[in-house]
Structure 1
Amino acid sequence: MTWWPPTSKKVAAMVPEADRLKLIGIELHSPGFWDFLGKLSPLEVLRQYLNDRHERQKDHEFRSPAETRKLDLENQSLELDIIERKIGILEHLGAKDRDLALLKEYLLAKSLRQLDPYQDQGLIFESEIVDPNIEKKKIA
């Protein structure tokens, strides 16, 4: 059983009896009004709470996927930085490209394979290097 969101009974149990809203009486006049014990209008407090809650939910629904995506991208960036550092250390120690080929395949394959579903769905047709300093190569 989950504890969130709490049930109305659990919430009521957390509010001391002395602090609970009490309806003392209602006096209706044209156009009518409610008279409550206390300084603030409880109906206004309830209205404002519900409006604020709705805004928080909209914000959470928008922000949660965006934050998840941002964290995923940050983690991928960190992983690539670590891979780059590992390869740099090995190159500094004298490793050549042929020595690093298997290591690069092992370290980079996971990241590169994330592109597979997009290519399989037809979202990636071809790719090319657009840097003017590098010879253009097409990969199909």
Structure 2
Amino acid sequence: MVKWIGTVFGLPPYPFNYVTRRLTIEEILDKFIDEGKHEHEEMEIFIKEFRTTNELLLKERSNLLSELTIEVNELSKVVNNVLIPKNEVKGVTTRGGKVTSKVTRSKEINETRINKNEPPRFEQDV
């Protein structure tokens, strides 16, 4: 029977007869330790890069959140200082389905300001 794996027509890949030497236990252990050290160094480099990237992302997120907090505080100040008039809607629906409505402004005003002693920033025509 002819073997096709690793040989050509049953001949070894090289026509020379090399003596294969077996590794000693010490050589095997040295090789294993060297590979372990190499993997450990690669893992240390990966961990350092990961920490650096993670710190940068956390700083960026923190900056964006602080900017958003400032914007929300500014918006809440504006909203709290605006007087919102209450509107009343009076409407009539006829039998034919025609709808007529009229919006009238009420004399009441929604007070949403936190500091009641502060004058309103925007005057509304009532």
Please state which band the TM-score falls in when normalised by the shorter chain: 0.3 to 0.5
The structure in which a higher percent of residues are helix is 1
Q: Which of the pair has the greater relative contact order for Cα pairs under 8 Å at 6+ separation?
A: 2
Higher strand share: 2
Q: Give me the TM-score of the superposition, normalised by structure 1.
A: 0.36
TM-score (norm 2): 0.39
Give 1 or 2 for the bigger CA radius of gyration: 2
